[in-house]
Chains A and B, each alone.
Chain A
């Protein structure tokens, strides 16, 4: 318990105008939970131990990258579901938008009922073959999304390296300050007049 309270007290303070708030960025898209995003950012900032505004900014961007990757994953899911819904549609009489969105919701929620199975059988498809055909049909879009995820992963690596540089910079600065202090002390010691042993005292011989 005591350790927990100590960690809390040493947690960085992210209140006050940070770089992101000054730039006025709104990282959440419509439909996404701003509360969830904010709590995730706070957790990332605390986990990384960001102290200065620039470190906090980089920690926020690291979390935003992860958020983007999750967003792309969800988009991939939605792309496949849309394709599956469009494959079920009877060719001569396409579903209207409302019905298609209902089918999409059912597929995304994995709620495959009898009506949906009947519709699939009407197109000579099973759930597996439907999925395979949908994946084949939208492979280009999925590849494009994978490229976006790879780009975010690369950005994430760059942000992490930059964050480490900033943290190490503080450590290096502190180390150099201490080394300078030590050098100054050593140099100061040169100016101290040498105090030799009293003339009446014979230096003791060392054994060996």
Chain B
């Protein structure tokens, strides 16, 4: 529990903060509110090399390049939604504790490394020095805290929203494909 003076000082310091300054920091901060990114459509004008190859394949249909790029963006959006649906269907551990551990292990692989290090110490020396144990526990706690802070925000998202995003991306793709009939 921080003292009132400490809190006041923290608030005064926070007011002086101007946010991230480096390009990398700004980029990282720009993703702070991102949970899954499905609500943002793919920009057809900034496609990567693989997506451009997809656009070339679509253009083989006799479709204008700009239209092919637009269709590629819609296909990518559709695929992103499908892959999110697959992610939701992934088999999960049965109990909440096991689920929590699975998530932690996936997000913080360093915890496994700490366990292994402790086992190795125990195996080779017969006992684990208290200082080392304390250091490992501190590190594990810090990693867990950082994971809790940066855990995927999917858990806070509405599951029904994923269906809406899928329906929307599918409808946009079908509409674009059906409009080819008149071209």
Which A residues are closer than 8 A to B by beta carbons? 17-19, 22-27, 29-31, 52-54, 57-58, 64, 68, 71, 75, 97, 147-148, 151, 154-155, 158-159, 161-162, 165-166, 168-169, 172-173
Contact = CB atoms under 8 A, between A and B. Distances in A.
B50 A22 contact: yes
B95 A23 contact: no
Minimum-distance CB pairs A-B, first 8: A162-B177, A53-B57, A158-B174, A165-B181, A22-B54, A155-B170, A54-B61, A162-B174
In this complex, which of A18, A26, A30, A158 has the most chain B Cβ atoms within 10 angstroms of its Cβ? A158
Given A22-B54, A53-B57, A173 B90 contact: no
B61 A161 contact: no
A166 B76 contact: no
A27 B75 contact: no
B163 interface: yes
In this complex, which of A68, A148, A155, A159 has the most chain B Cβ atoms within 10 angstroms of its Cβ? A155
A205 B146 CA distance: 104
B171 A97 contact: no
B57 A29 contact: no
Contacts, number: 82
B125 interface: no
A143 B76 CA distance: 29
A161 B178 contact: yes
A118 B42 CA distance: 58
Interface residues of B, number: 34
A173 B62 contact: yes
A173 B61 CA distance: 11
In this complex, which of B89, B163, B167, B174 has the most chain A Cβ atoms within 10 angstroms of its Cβ? B174
Contacts of A154: 167
20 contacts: A19-B54, A19-B75, A25-B83, A29-B90, A30-B90, A52-B61, A53-B57, A53-B58, A68-B85, A151-B166, A154-B167, A155-B170, A158-B171, A158-B174, A162-B174, A162-B177, A165-B177, A166-B177, A169-B61, A172-B181
B127 to A, nearest CB: 33
B90 to A, nearest CB: 7
